[in-house]
Amino acid sequence: MKSVNDAQYADALLNIRSYFSNSETSIHKARNEIKIYKYKEDEFVIKSFKIANLLNKFIYTYLKSSKAERSYANSIRIADFVPKPIGYIEFKKHGLLHDSYFVSEKFNFDITIREVLHKSDFPDRENIFAEFANFTFLLHENNILHLDYSPGNILIKESDGRYIFKIVDINRMIFKNLSLDERLKNFCMLWAKDEDMKIIAGYYAELMSTDKEYCINKAIYYSRRNKKFKNIKKRIRGKPVNV
Ligand SMILES: Nc1ncnc2c1ncn2[C@@H]1O[C@H](COP(=O)(O)OP(=O)(O)O)[C@@H](O)[C@H]1O
Ligand SMILES: [Mg+2]
């Protein structure tokens, strides 16, 4: 077992496994599961990562750091852009990594960018897109490339007419100086309609003080390419396609 955390939460972290299996506060279950943890006055989010196959157990034990550890390390590195990290803990079984948990403060967001993208009459939509372009620009200026920059990972809280953005699902990131094309490509997982991408990329171009037409065309190109690629994969798996 390996644990790294804010000292005041050490006990809570050590009991996380039993808490997690007994708790019925699940808010999300996909490949990993997310539960809310109430501790004294505060609320935290626990993300549990399980490793199903033996090969990956070897890889994560001997070659790669766990997703929980990477989530924590990345959060510490980009603190302004994420819910506050609390700690992570890893458990082994028969000498191999079996499950790991990453804990962060619960961010009381109002919406994700998904709702704004999906509803063409969403209140203050254009403004939210402008602030979203600004937030993404700040990430990029800080050499942060989120490799899963998809709508459910972009949380938004309204505060006095402004919007506070935080990103989650941060175990896969690259830190490097980004070219203009790498920046524009980063918008491609939003599944934005062309006309929405035009607005977002337009604001982004202004922030970069660069050619608007070029940015819009490139962002739409990458977005369409991503949709096409994902839809091919869906068709192969017999799943319904998106447009
Ligand atoms: N710190 C947090 N505060 C509030 N909600 C969170 C937090 N972390 C995750 N969530 C919620 O859980 C959802 C899934 O989290 P995520 O880390 O993206 O898991 P997954 O890998 O399954 O996509 C998010 O879309 C968000 O609604
Ligand atoms: Mg996610």
d(CA 101, CA 81): 20
Residue 164 carries which side chain, given as an amino acid letter? I
Separation of alpha carbons 224 and 189, rounded Å: 10
Specify the pLDDT at position 108: 96
Q: What is the CA(219)–ligand 1 centre distance, in A?
A: 26
Distance CA 90, CA 104 (A): 15
pLDDT at 77: 97
Q: Which residues contact 127 (CB under 8 A, 6 or more apart)?
A: 163
CA of 150 to the centre of ligand 2 (A): 7
Q: Helix, strand or coil for residue 210?
A: coil
Residue 150 makes CB contacts below 8 A (sequence gap 6+) with: 169, 189, 190, 191
Which ligand gives the minimal distance to the CA of 68?
1
- Positive or negative torsion for Cα 11, 15, 20, 23: negative
Residue-level pLDDT at 1: 64
Closest ligand to residue 155's CA = 1
- Residues 102 and 72 sit within 8 Å (Cβ to Cβ): yes
In the chain, what are the domain boundaries?
2-105, 111-236
Neighbours of 125 (CB within 10 A): 15
Ligand 1 pocket, CB under 6 A = 27-28, 30, 32, 34, 45, 47, 83, 104, 106-107, 152-153, 168-169
* pLDDT in 10s for each residue of the chain, 243 residues: 676 667 777 777 788 888 888 777 778 877 888 999 887 788 899 999 998 889 988 888 888 999 999 999 999 999 999 999 999 999 999 999 999 999 999 999 999 999 999 999 999 999 999 999 999 999 999 999 999 999 999 999 999 889 999 999 999 999 999 999 999 999 999 999 999 999 999 999 999 999 999 999 999 999 999 999 888 888 888 888 877
Q: Which residues, at least 6 apart from 219, have a Cβ–Cβ distance to it below 8 Å?
A: 184, 187, 188, 197, 200, 201, 204
pTM above 0.85, yes or no: yes
Neighbours of ion ligand 2 (CB under 5 A): 152-153, 169
Is the domain spanning 2-105 CATH 3.40.50? The answer is no
Residue nearest to atom 25 of ligand 1 (CA): 152
What top-level class would CATH report for the domain 111-236?
mainly alpha
CA 171–ligand 1 middle distance (angstroms): 12
Tokens of 197: 């991408």
Q: Which whole-number Å values give the CA distances from 212 to 46, 145, 185, 190, 208, in the listed order?
A: 41, 21, 15, 19, 9
Which of the ligands is closest to the CA of residue 154?
1
pLDDT value at position 4?
67
